[in-house]
Structure 1
Amino acid sequence: MNTSLFALPGLRVLLADAGQRRSPVIRLELIRLRCQLVDVLDLVERPAALDDALTRQAPELLIVDCDQPTPALLEQLGEALRRQPRPVLLFAEQMSAAQMRDALQAGISTLQLAGLPPQRLGALLQLALARFEHDQSLQRDLRQTQTQLAERKLVERARGILMREQGLDEEAAFQRLRQLAMDGGQTLAAVATRLIDADQLLRSR
């Protein structure tokens, strides 16, 4: 999904009605904003329909309208969003501080409390898109940092093996790893993993 400009015309929106019955108001405003409403789900009558609709309709944003975000609703949303992350805008008539915290932990991008002012829907949609993009960027950065740390540990471990087995100092062992990586067209982490695996195999005999 390209949300770099957070443009609303053509945005594919799925509306999940969890009991408030305000879908006509939301539909009209989405039409005015030139969004594409792909479906309206009744989560009261069909609570298990969300996963299938997310897969089948592939919306770019999910709107959930409820009286309050119950634990069951938040659990359902959290499970669905773990499998299929996407921006979510949740409207609720009432919400405690604990429910707000739980909603954000479930992956809700933006919360709107105490009713739905139609004229604000466009701004709220853009806020949900921006918040989702920000959160996804943070998660990508975290995954990259974790990967780099894990790779660094592999390289340090492999360097230690070379120092022990070939009597090299730290710099020479690192240069040896680098040369092996260049010769084999592989990353340092890949070469380090192979060296560690080979060392473990030899030491287990």
Structure 2
Amino acid sequence: MRPTNAQRATCRILVADDESLIRLDLKEMLTHLGYDVVAEVGDGAAAIELSRKLKPDLVIMDIKMPEVDGIAAAEILTREQIAPVVLLTAYSDQALVERARDAGVVGYVVKPFREAELMPVIELSLTRFAEFTALRKEVGDLRDALETRKVVERAKGVLMEVHGLPEADAFRRIRKTSMDSRKSMKEVAEAILLTYEMDISTAPSGETTDGM
């Protein structure tokens, strides 16, 4: 379900990019979509400082910035549980993607971007951050939560592929199974992956598996 204008207006976003023109374009697009841009900054250190002060609902920042880069800033904001981070990037480097994932980044916007691309990324990123917050409450340790998220993301992908579930429903199924079985979400996710892999290895060629 698409968010209403009122719901978007309550989403407070901080924008960080060292290029003033990109900051201006991004602010105009976000404002036009109904979001509340609470601050704009030009480097990672300022993004961290203002995020601590303003407590935005989301931070959108460039991956390459002076002082502190976007990934390092995202790691700090994630560790301190301040806000989810969406990275702006013109790079497809797998090493950067892995580093960003390990830092807790929840979404990406690829430059050059269009206004129509922003809302789906923002809403999905907010959902993923809520999921990660639930995982962190269960696991406790940040590093363990990040590792658990990787397993849960893979299991969600299986449920989405096999059962045609939306991403949020796939997470809810894992969480409900975890609560019903009194097992951790990581254990449930690992069971889903194991079942899927066993089904794939034993299913006749061309036959679809049911998963879990």
- Structure 1 and Structure 2 fold alike (TM over 0.5): yes
Deviation of 1:20 (Å): 7.3
Gaps of 5+ in 2: 145-212
Deviation >4 Å, runs of 4+: none
Q: Which residue of 1 aligns with 2:188?
A: none
Q: Which residue of 2 aligns with 1:8?
A: 8
Q: Which residue of 2 aligns with 1:107?
A: 104
Deviation of 1:49 (Å): 1.4
Give the aligned residue type for 1:57: L
Q: Structure 2-normalised TM-score?
A: 0.57
Q: Which residue of 2 aligns with 1:119?
A: 116
Q: 1:87 aligned to 2:94? A: no
- How many Å separate the matches in 1 of 2:20 and 2:50? 20
Q: Structure 1-normalised TM-score?
A: 0.58
Root mean square deviation of aligned Cα: 2.9
Q: Secondary structure in 2 aligned to 1:62?
A: strand
- Relative contact order (C-alpha < 8 Å, sep 6+): which is higher? 1
Deviation of 1:138 (Å): 1.5
Q: Which structure has the larger Rg over C-alpha atoms?
A: 1
- How many Å separate the matches in 1 of 2:86 and 2:37? 14
Give the aligned residue type for 2:100: A
Q: How many residues align?
A: 138
Q: 1:36 aligned to 2:36? A: yes
Which of 51, 57, 62 is residue 60 of structure 1 equivalent to?
Answer: 57
- How many Å separate the matches in 2 of 1:53 and 1:121? 22
Deviation of 1:67 (Å): 5.4
- How many Å separate the matches in 2 of 1:102 and 1:18? 21
Moved more, 109-118 or 51-60: 109-118
Percent identity, please: 21
Gaps of 5+ in 1: 147-205
